[in-house]
Structure 1
Amino acid sequence: MVSKLDLYKVFCKVGKSESFSKAAKGLYMTQPAVSQAIMQLERELDTRLFNRTPKGVTLTNEGSLLFEYVNSAINLIDAGEEKILEFKNLTTGELTIGVGDTISRYFLLPYLEAFHNKYPNIKFKIVNGTTIEICSILKSGEVDIAICNFPLDDPSLELRPCIDIHDIFVCGEKYKHLLSSPLSLEEIIKLPLILLEPKSNSRKYVENYMISKGIKISPEFELGSFDLLLEFAKINLGIACVTREFSQEYLNKGILYEVKIKEEIPKRSIGVCFLKSVPLSPASTKFVEIIENKQLKVFGGN
């Protein structure tokens, strides 16, 4: 069965070539098939679209009017198909990522660079926020994928853990005497603690672990930036709870020291998440593949 769109494509081709035979050749159809298609369209519209002459065909007034609309519509369809092909081939498009500032700086940047080098025509849009905020905008469709702190408990999201991270306590020179032997959690909470603000996923994870051990924490400082945790510890304002993998520069240079504890906080992870109900775009799929394939040596080659 010939669709209406097929009929209009034949009509447009005949209108451009002013010949059934030339249109048939261009469409890889027989001349009778082209003639039959035009007659079917004229019957459906109850309007004569072409004047038939021994030298060929010409559009009627009604046919000329229709041709303007049909030709524009088919050109738009062709342009749309070309755009879809470009998206599939990653020669154009946009990738919107939801991520926090800390993960952007200490985890995501090398992967953004690798993706951009491979697919330079894809534009990036980065939306910052806490893990809870990012998951919310992910579900609203404002971002394609999110890079978050795990664990997350949301059945609507597909979770792909990428790297393990460890929460540790660090100190500056003033508290260096604490390094002589591992401390218990009870001893840790008696010290002036520097933690992230309560709404952060990292803070909640550490706090929940402490509560599971029957320990309630009351930090001296609550900060909104990971970098501030490091800087506050550096100037000896207290003991900061940080992510070991994101603090290597301070630790390797001896600016800060890891305070060992008798019972380490269980490791957690950072990963990619996206909606289970929505297929990933080609750009999102390739970006996730780059991260999962671990093509880059991040965190000093580890």
Structure 2
Amino acid sequence: MVSKLDLYRVFCTVGKSESFSKAARDLYMTQPAVSQAIMQLESELDTRLFNRTPKGVSLTDEGSLLFEYVHSAISLIDVGEEKMLEFKNLTTGELKIGVGDTISRYFLLPYLEEFRNKYPNIKFKIVNGTTLEICSLLKSGEVDIAICNFPIDDSAFELRACIDIHDTFVCGEKYKSILSRPLSFHELVKLPLIFLERKSNSRQYVEDYILSKGVKISPEFELGSHDLLLDFAKINLGVACVTKEFSQEYLDNGLLYEVQLIEEIPKRSMGVCFLKSVPLSPASMKFVEIIERT
């Protein structure tokens, strides 16, 4: 069955070429098929669109009026298809990523650099927030993908774990004496503790685990960024709960010391998160592939 759009494409081609035979060649159709299409369109519109002469065809007044609109519409559709192809080939578009400040700094930057080098015409929009905030943005469509801390207990999301991370406690010179032996959680909570704010996924994970051992934490400081945890511990304001992988520079340079625990906190994951119900854009798919491949 020939669609109305197909009929208009034939009409537009005949109108430009003023010849059924030339339009047939351009459209890779037979001349009778082109003639039939024009006759069908004229019948449906109840209007004669072309004057037929032995030398070819010409638009009637009604046909000329219709041609202006159809030609514009077909041109817009063609441009739209070209733009879709550009999106598919990653020669244009935007990638919106939701991510926390710490993950941006210690994990995401190399992947952004690699993606940018491969697809320089894709624009980035980076939105920072906690895991809870980013997941909300993901559901509202304000970001395409999220790079965040797991676990996330929401069946609406597809989770792709990228790396394992470990929660640990660190201290400065003032508290170095506690490093002589591993501490229990009961001993740990007697020290001035420095934690991320309550809405942080990392904080909730550690707090829930320690609470499962019958120990409740009561931090002296609750901060909004991982870097502040490190800086507060470095100037001896207390013992900070940090992500070991994101604190390695401080530990390697002797600016902080890792507190040994009798019972280590189980490792968790960090990775990519996106909605199951919404197909990833070509740019998002390529970005996820780069992260997973590396």
Q: TM-score range by the shorter chain?
A: over 0.9
Cα distance in 2 for residues equivalent to 1:49 and 1:168:
79
What amino acid does structure 2 have at the position aligned with 1:114?
E
2:199 counterpart SS class: coil
Q: Deviations over 1:192-211 (max 9, x none)?
A: 00000111001000100011
**Counterpart in the other structure of 2:49:** 49
Cα distance in 2 for residues equivalent to 1:293 and 1:25:
47
Q: Is 1:127 the equivalent of 2:127? A: yes
Matches within 5 A, 1:25-174: 25-174=25-174
Cα distance in 2 for residues equivalent to 1:26 and 1:221:
74
Cα distance in 2 for residues equivalent to 1:204 and 1:30:
70
**Aligned-pair distance for 1:48?**
0.7
What amino acid does structure 2 have at the position aligned with 1:14?
V
**Counterpart in the other structure of 1:298:** none
Q: CA RMSD in A?
A: 0.8
**Counterpart in the other structure of 2:9:** 9
1:121 counterpart SS class: coil
**Counterpart in the other structure of 1:182:** 182
**Aligned-pair distance for 1:84?**
1.2
What amino acid does structure 2 have at the position aligned with 1:104?
S
1:26 counterpart SS class: helix
1:11 counterpart SS class: helix
Task: After the TM superposition, list the runs of 4 or more consecutive aligned residues in structure 1 that deviate by more than 6 angstroms.
Answer: none
**Counterpart in the other structure of 1:21:** 21
TM-score, normalisation: structure 1: 0.96
Cα distance in 1 for residues equivalent to 2:191 and 2:131:
28
Q: Deviations over 1:107-134 (max 9, x none)?
A: 1111111111111111111111110011
What amino acid does structure 1 have at the position aligned with 2:144?
D
Identity %: 83
List gaps (5 residues or longer) in structure 1: 295-302
**Counterpart in the other structure of 2:247:** 247
**Aligned-pair distance for 1:225?**
1.1
Q: Deviations over 1:243-298 (max 9, x none)?
A: 0000011001000000111101110110101111111111111111111111xxxx
**Counterpart in the other structure of 1:278:** 278
Cα distance in 2 for residues equivalent to 1:155 and 1:145:
16
**Counterpart in the other structure of 1:219:** 219
Cα distance in 2 for residues equivalent to 1:225 and 1:25:
66
1:160 counterpart SS class: strand
**Counterpart in the other structure of 1:297:** none
Matches within 5 A, 1:200-239: 200-239=200-239
Cα distance in 2 for residues equivalent to 1:98 and 1:140:
12
Cα distance in 1 for residues equivalent to 2:177 and 2:53:
103
Q: State the aligned residue count.
A: 294
2:141 counterpart SS class: coil
